[in-house]
Amino acid sequence: MGFPAGGPPASLRTLAREGALGGYILFKRNLGEPADVAALNAELVAEVPIARPLLIAVDQEGGRVARLKAPILPLPAMRRLAALGDAALIRRAAAALGAQLRALGFTMDFAPVLDIDTNPANPVIGDRAFGRDAESVSAYALAFSDGLLDARVLSCGKHFPGHGDTHLDSHLALPRLPHDRARLDAVELAPFRAARGRVPSLMTAHVVFDALDAEVPATLSRRVISGLLRDELGYDGLIISDDLEMKAVADHYETGDAACRAIAAGCDTLLVCSEPERALVAREALIRRAEADAAFAARLQDAAARSLAMRRGVPAPEPETDAARLAALLAAPTESGFVAELAARLASLPA
């Protein structure tokens, strides 16, 4: 769940104390100076039972999707980083970023993008992608994921089955892709197939894929999430919905209905990123559906177990609240010379 500027409201804090909340996602509105971020995350973590830890997550890809600013490592757009053609360097960059995130108390970064930049007119992916072909994206995005994991920060590949070729932004409208299954197998699905066993979580796309399920967006489709991702591709990690407040879903489905559809489809964790009231509506809808439907209750228990297993599997957050030590941890990439090396490599690329 996300929340407005400042800390979470009492309703979310109560759920967290009861062990009934999977985690928080923080946005720019919640993020001030590094010491304040570390203090907030330390406070959030301290409120919850040790046996039911929270995910503390952020969208920190690099380029135009970077909620945290300096002194956090200022990575360029992934297209430009990938242009260096150096998977080892990309892994080092992600590990350096991950170490900084860890010092602030984050346990998950909603990165890397596994979408392929096949549509120059795409308004939402573009240079966030690591490349324009499946091979490049698979190699470099998975290297980025490996780097985050090296730093004990969970990665999340997005947006399954692929948002790279849409001409609409799912934050604002519901995109649809007409590609046949052969094209999807060769292009869009390839990086997600490569992520199996290597990326611990994947985020779904609010996109309708005509060849997979022409009726509903992927997030809400059992054919896409359970049938394709789980059963056919064999992905066994955590499946996370994109934000249910995005217009691609919210303009067509009431929040509680969308939440139930996403869980029934095979999602394990739901994102509601802005309005705590909507998150509470979603939670109540899940409870009511589970009370009335034994099969749904079993699916919900499976989803909850997957979420809890992931949260227990990542080492407990260690936000550094001593100002001097925090400053030293955040400055480590600079002092190691990595920032200068990366800048020099990037400067050597054509404009």
What residues does each domain of the chain span? Answer: 10-345
Give 184: exposed, middle or buried? Use CB within 10 Å, 0-12, 13-18, 19+: buried
pTM of the model: 0.97
Q: Rounded distance, CA 327 to CA 109, Å? A: 21
Per-residue model confidence as pLDDT tens for the chain (351 residues) = 999 998 899 999 999 999 899 999 999 999 999 999 999 999 999 999 989 999 999 999 999 999 999 999 999 999 999 999 999 999 999 999 999 999 999 999 999 999 999 999 999 999 999 999 999 999 999 999 999 999 999 999 999 999 999 999 999 999 999 999 999 999 999 999 999 999 999 999 999 999 999 999 999 999 999 999 999 999 999 999 999 999 999 999 999 999 999 999 999 999 999 999 999 999 999 999 999 999 999 999 999 999 999 999 998 878 999 999 999 999 999 999 999 999 999 999 998
Q: Rounded distance, CA 217 to CA 138, Å? A: 24
171 among known catalytic residues: yes
Q: Rounded distance, CA 44 to CA 17, Å? A: 10
242 among known catalytic residues: yes
Which of 146, 165, 242, 243 is catalytic? The answer is: 242
The fourth-level CATH superfamily of domain 10-345 is Glycoside hydrolase, family 3, N-terminal domain (3.20.20.300)
pLDDT confidence of residue 48: 93
Q: Rounded distance, CA 180 to CA 183, Å? A: 6
Nearest to 73 by CA among 44, 102, 35, 45: 102
Which of 171, 185, 252, 293 is catalytic? The answer is: 171
- Give the number of C-alpha atoms closer than 13 A to the C-alpha of residue 130, restricted to the C-beta side: 28
